[in-house]
């Protein structure tokens, strides 16, 4: 069960409870009810699993690579003349 650590306030006990059914959201990892203390997750384990996925690059946004074959140099300026 949940134990209060030194320095934790009374609100911490309330935050450790699942949120009411009318506003219930699910943990994105395991679909258990979200706990406010670890939102949007249900536990420190799910929170840490998600952090590990971010650090491993599993959530990386794909990038479009530019071909090096194409010449992207600016147009030469016309010579200044009379």
Residue-level pLDDT at 71: 59
Residue-level pLDDT at 1: 45
Q: Are 53 and 59 in contact (CB under 8 A)?
A: yes
Q: Is this structure's pTM higher than 0.75?
A: no
Please compute the mean of the pLDDT values over residues 30-53 and round it to a whole number: 93
Share of the chain above pLDDT 70, in %: 57
CA separation, residue 27 to residues 19, 40, 55, 73 (Å) = 12, 6, 19, 49
What's the domain range around 30?
12-56
CA 20-21-24 angle, 5° bins = 85
Q: How many domains does the chain have?
A: 1
In a domain? residue 75: no
In a domain? residue 76: no
């Amino acid at each position: 069960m949940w134990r209060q650590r030194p320095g934790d306030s009374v609100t911490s006990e309330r935050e450790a409870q699942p949120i009411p059914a009318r506003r219930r959201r699910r943990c994105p990892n395991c679909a258990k009810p979200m706990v406010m203390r670890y939102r949007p997750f249900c536990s420190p384990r799910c929170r840490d699993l998600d952090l590990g996925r971010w650090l491993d690059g599993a959530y990386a946004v794909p990038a479009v690579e530019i071909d090096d074959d194409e010449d992207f140099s600016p147009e030469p300026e016309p010579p200044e003349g009379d």
